[in-house]
A and B are shown apart, each in its own frame.
Chain A
Amino acid sequence: MTLLRTRDLVVHYGDFQALFGIGMEIADGETIAIIGSNGAGKSTFLRSLAGLLAPSSGRIEFAGVDITGMPANRVVASGLALVPEGRKLFPSLSVEENLLIGGYAKRKGPWSLERIYRIFPDLKEKRRNPGTALSGGQQQMVAIGRALMSNPRLLLCDELSLGLAPIVVKDIYARLPEILAEGTSVVVVEQDIGQAMKVADRFYCLQEGHVSLAGKPGEVGRDQVSAAYFGV
Chain B
Amino acid sequence: MSMDLTLAAPAEPAAPPAPPAPPAYRVERATRASRIGAAALGLATLALLAMPWWADRASIRSMGEILYVLALAQTWNLLAGYGGLISMGQQAFVGLGAYALVVFSLKLGLNVFLAIPLAGLTAALIAIPAATVVFRLRGAYFAVGTWVVAEVFRLLITNTMWLAGGNGLSVISALTGIPRWWRESAILWFAVVLGVGSTLGLYLVLRSRFGLALKAIRDSEAAAESVGVKVPALKWIVYVAAAFGCGAVGALAFITKLRVAPDAAFSLDWMTTMVFLVVIGGIGTIEGPLVGAAVFFGLRWLLADYGVVYMIVLGALATLVMLKMPEGLYGFLARCYRLDFFPVQRRLIPRDQGE
Direct A/B contact, Cβ within 8 angstroms = no
Chain A residues with a Cβ under 8 A of chain B = none
